[in-house]
Chain A
């Protein structure tokens, strides 16, 4: 399965399996995680692949998600590239650790395969963890970069992108997926093998890391989030805030689908909702409605500028997400009051169909027609 000669072959794989296989190929140093549906295939696939015998990647089933994230924390401190994977209640348990990782500006990748909540909720897919990923539940001023794949191929790609971003910015990266993308099978091209970094490469890339390398010829490193001097703590927070601003300026990423100069309406959707919405856009376009979709590929930083620009012209936006409405608040903020934003979606494990989205779109259009649009504009 892990043969370089076959690297250009298409494979038919589940999203979760691809997370595991891509991690091995991108040269990850370790995985630490605890089983939870709908992402258990990540650890199961790693256990079958035995990467410790090939690339030397460490795989450990932790005793809890609290332990997993603190394993990531320790590993990140030493400059290693590691990841964990979990789902909604498990990610909830990781919030303290994520805050610590941000506080020490550590690398680490967290795959979140969302299910319906709150509480134990359901093992069926959901997108009700947008706030959990983007706004977090840990303490303090911090942000994580949040990537939002919408296909099995992008699950693989995001593992590479996350590995690069987490060291570039020294901040944890969350890959916010959902139970549909995690469980569904699609064709995928796996990345070629990248060797894991050597100790010397880690030392060169991470002079701040606490791994003892070269200790005798440098000051020792201590990674601590604690600071009793409030001025020093504020300075640290401000430096991090500056970094976050630069991330927002440089890393916001999105994709447009059938958006052109004449577009009247916009759908904003990520992950599985964007796949459903593409079909809805096609149906509406067939009916002569000038609608397009913007898909955030990063949820933090959020592509606010692009949405702001589009909403100078487009006055009605439908936000499609499989929750009772979380991303809609960021979409609303992004429009800066220039457009009216509506929400549609299912929750608790239910998933909108393209027809659901078309229906929601029609009722939005009717409402905006009576409110804002000239008479005679109607849709079939």
Chain B
């Protein structure tokens, strides 16, 4: 049997979402970004809203997200995606506007924009990739870096007296009146990928139904930044990140 004979539609159990193009991804092996991109592409495709989607990517490893998904993209400056999205959604209220941000982007340089967009109850969805590190710039300390965790700028481990404490921005988000759905997910296992996809779908639906702001945190790996193999990174995340950033819904007012 040739390959062509094997690849017949009824035999296919898996396909690449049509919104995902063939541009080779720049992500490192074991990185969570690529998986989350794929989930987003699937959800937009399943909802059939590609002509009604305005995606906003950050400065961070996901800066090139616009290369991989065939929807209209805006690359915002570092931390400002939520401000950008607020204006876009108010001007195009019937479209899905979502931001895609790292921890440095959302919880450090863009904390103000993130909290205020959530607090205004902007009808947008925010996808938050928390890998506890600045991936793009080479593994420096992030606001979400765990206590004791080593990075390029805290080489002896994060210490409270020098660096302060990890910022739980998702917990803060849950206290804001403008958020309708705040959840923490991961993409380390197939069941978790399915849950994360469900969460992103709900966030996108909330935005389309003008229910307020949704935040989906994805606790993520950064094998390169953490100086681990992909497998070690997943294990390290489960052992160290999950206890500190427990998975599950923090708030859901749309049931």
Contact with B along A40-67 (1 / 0, CB 8 A): 0000000000000000001010111011
Please give, as numbers and ranges, the residues of chain A lying within 8 Å of B85 by CB-CB distance.
74
Picked from A67, A209, A215, A224, the residue with its CB within 8 Å of the CB of B83 is A67
Q: Are B112 and A73 in contact (CB under 8 A)?
A: no
Q: Which of B42-92 contact A (CB under 8 A)?
A: 50-54, 56, 63-64, 66-67, 69-77, 80, 83-88, 90-92
B103 at the interface (CB under 8 A from A): no
CA distance A70 to B88 in the complex (A): 10
Measured as residues with beta carbon below 8 angstroms from the partner, the interface class of chain B is: 20 to 34
Does A253 sit at the interface, judged by CB under 8 A?
no
For residue B95, CB closer than 8 A to chain A, the reply is: yes
Chain A residues whose C-beta falls within 8 Å of the C-beta of B195 in the assembled complex? none
Question: Which of the 9-residue segments A77-85, A159-167, A290-298, A319-327 touches chain B?
Answer: A77-85
Is A32 an interface residue, CB under 8 A from the partner?
yes
Q: Which A residues are in CB contact (< 8 Å) with B105?
A: none
A213 interface residue per 8 A CB criterion:
yes
Measured CB to CB, the nearest residue on chain B to A221 is B72
Kindly identify, within residues 11 to 67 of chain B, every residue whose CB is under 8 Å from any CB belonging to chain A.
50-54, 56, 63-64, 66-67
Given contacts A212-B50, A212-B51, contact A75 B72 (CB under 8 A): no
Task: Give the dominant DSSP class at A's interface.
Answer: mixed
User: With an 8 A cutoff between CB atoms, is B116 at the interface?
Assistant: yes
Overall SS of chain B's interface: helix
Which of A64, A77, A220, A223 is close to B70, meaning CB atoms less than 8 Å apart?
A220
**Known interface pairs A70-B76, A77-B88, A224-B73; A212-B112 also in contact (CB < 8 Å):** no
B54 touches which of A58, A210, A226 (Cβ 8 Å): A210
Contact (A210, B90) CB under 8 Å given A67-B80, A70-B83, A215-B50:
no
A72, chain B: closest CB distance, angstroms: 7
Distance in angstroms between the alpha carbons of A64 and B111 in the assembled complex: 12
Residues of A within 8 A of B112 (CB): 63-64, 66-67
A366 to B33, CA, bound (A): 72
Query: Distance (Å) between the CB of A181 and the closest chain B CB?
Result: 27
> A-B pairs with the 9 shortest C-beta distances?
A74-B84, A71-B87, A224-B75, A70-B80, A210-B72, A222-B66, A67-B83, A70-B83, A63-B116
Q: Which residues of A contact B (CB under 8 A)?
A: 29-30, 32, 58, 60, 62-64, 66-68, 70-75, 77-78, 80, 82, 96-97, 100, 209-216, 220-226
A-B contact pairs, 25 of them (CB 8 A): A62-B83, A63-B116, A67-B112, A70-B84, A70-B87, A71-B83, A73-B80, A74-B85, A77-B74, A78-B88, A96-B77, A210-B54, A211-B95, A212-B51, A212-B54, A212-B92, A220-B70, A221-B72, A222-B67, A222-B74, A223-B74, A224-B73, A224-B75, A225-B75, A226-B63
